[in-house]
Amino acid sequence: MSKVTFDSLRWLEQPAQVTVTVNGGPPRAYFQATSPRDAAALCKGRLVEELPRILSILSPAHHLCAAQALDRLFNVEPPAVALNMREALRRVLFVRHFLRKFYFLASSQESPFAELRSREVRPGKRDLHGVVQDLSRHLSLAQEAAIILGGRADHPVTAVAGGVSRSLREEHHPRLAEIAAACRDCAVRLSAFVREDVFPAGKLLADVQDIAVGPLASLSLAPEPDRLILRDAKGKELERFATTALFDKVALQREPWSYEPFAFLKDKGWKDLAAGSAESLFFVGPLARLNGGEAVATPLAEAERLRLVEAMGPFPHGGVLAAYWAMLVQLLEAAEVLVATCEVEKLSGPAPRTIPTALGQEGHAALESPQGLIYHRFRADERGVVQEAQILDAATANNALLALLAQRAVEEPVAQSKPWEVARKRVELSLLPF
């Protein structure tokens, strides 16, 4: 028996590795989260006001989700300016997240530290190094906007129960508008590059174009408040239910070889991943949000979605190539919405917060983060100390998906006796868009 471990997988936000064992038959790949993150246990015994800061360790979007749950817990309605600031921050997180993903994709083929002056670009050939540098510049701009709106970049602190903790300074308004417009223009340039140099056969994703899993069900936020949509593998809506019923529908399975639990549909029951059954599994994220087939509300993003449909057929899709394209669609949408949200009148107002006057017993919220659906539910005592917490992170919701992708990615290189570095790269590029 041979055993190989791809340690410290590049580009993943969560510490993880893939261990591959070969014992005279097909390879068996184990996607393993290597760092424990029991956020629900961390919340218990803490004051509820601390939760937005604590939970941002999962991802910055959890800061916003926790604040929305506290709005419910304290029964307060944030003023419009606070809601707009929160939404602007959420959209900045989308832009930054997707720019970073495409930066990693481009730099996987081209060193981001290469000297531009030493390179010769042949006529008719796009300068990949220039694309990497363009993405890097605009990642810095998105980071600056996240700091303006959130107080910090990766662990924002501004969202609080009832709104936000401070108003924007006068000089921040034109700067945010400038950054939003620049990021939108960068997304448009990126879309042209991706269509020409990433998606066509033989381009940057040639090694993973054939990788797909499923079919899998998908879970996403419904258009109406406090509702979720569960779709089957064919994109058909199975059920639309209240967010508070999420953990009545979804359960978590812990396996000894990974710190991250696996989310599955309760009524289908847990099926061992080695059995290859995906009946009880679902996923979240950009592709899950588009798999319903509905039009996107912004023009540039909708035009890109239609190009995806023309090239790959109608939704739903479950392949890696479609997942990258879904990221591009959602990057364009986030950038367009960010431009509209960063108007001065939307981010200006005398009162960025409604001060809570009473404490309830329970608060909950669901939010679409860049990585996918996340959910918080808290129960507190009369002192405001958390007694019970339920949290669904996108990493948990997609853990089974990542495990299945890792398995698919190693099968062909092992069967063809290719170098392990080929299998590693296939794994990393397959997991990147999820």
* 29 lies in the same domain as 2: yes
| The predicted structure's pLDDT at residue 97 | 97
CA distance 290 to 296: 8
* 193 lies in the same domain as 94: yes
Residue 98 lies in a domain: yes
* 89 lies in the same domain as 200: yes
Considering the chain, what percentage of its residues have pLDDT values greater than 90? 83
Residue 64 lies in a domain: yes
* 82 lies in the same domain as 203: yes
* CA distances from residue 210 to 286, 366, 409 in whole angstroms, order as listed: 19, 33, 9
Those residues whose C-beta lies under 8 Å from the C-beta of residue 171, and which sit 6 or more positions away, are none
Those residues whose C-beta lies under 8 Å from the C-beta of residue 294, and which sit 6 or more positions away, are none
* 344 lies in the same domain as 200: yes
Residue 324 lies in a domain: no
Q: Helices 172-197 and 320-341, interaxial angle, to 10°?
A: 160
At 69-127, the pLDDT tens digits run 999 999 999 999 999 999 999 999 999 999 999 999 988 865 444 444 444 444 444 57
* 343 lies in the same domain as 272: no
At 331-381, the pLDDT tens digits run 999 999 999 999 999 999 888 999 999 999 999 999 999 999 999 999 999
* 112 lies in the same domain as 85: yes
- Length of the chain measured in residues: 434
Helix (H, G, I), strand (E, B) or coil at 358: coil
| The predicted structure's pLDDT at residue 10 | 85
DSSP readout, 188-236? HHHHHHHHHHTSSTTSTTTTTTT-B----EEEEE-SSTTEEEEE-TTS-
Residue 325 lies in a domain: no
Q: Against a cut of 0.85, is the pTM above it?
A: yes
Q: Which residues of the chain have pLDDT under 50?
A: 111-125
Residue 329 lies in a domain: no
CA distance 285 to 50: 27
Q: Which strand (E) or helix (H) includes residue 427? A: helix 420-431
* 108 lies in the same domain as 184: yes
Those residues whose C-beta lies under 8 Å from the C-beta of residue 335, and which sit 6 or more positions away, are 91, 95, 180, 183, 184, 186, 187, 300
Residue 180 lies in a domain: yes
Does residue 401 contact residue 434 with C-beta atoms inside 8 Å? yes
* 90 lies in the same domain as 155: yes
* 286 lies in the same domain as 373: no
**CB-side exposure of 431: number of CA atoms within 13 Å?**
31
Residue 323 lies in a domain: no
CA distance 194 to 324: 9
Residue 327 lies in a domain: no
Q: Which two tokens stand for residue 323?
A: 């997942």
* Domain, as residue range, for 239: 213-318
| The predicted structure's pLDDT at residue 120 | 46
* 244 lies in the same domain as 294: yes
Name the domain count of the chain: 4
Residue 214's region, left for phi above 0, alpha for psi from -120 to 50, else beta, is left
Does residue 208 contact residue 202 with C-beta atoms inside 8 Å? no
| The predicted structure's pLDDT at residue 201 | 77
| The predicted structure's pLDDT at residue 275 | 67
| The predicted structure's pLDDT at residue 21 | 94
* 198 lies in the same domain as 302: no
Q: Which residue in 331, 431, 375 sits closest to 58, CA to CA?
A: 375
Q: Which two tokens stand for residue 82?
A: 């606070």
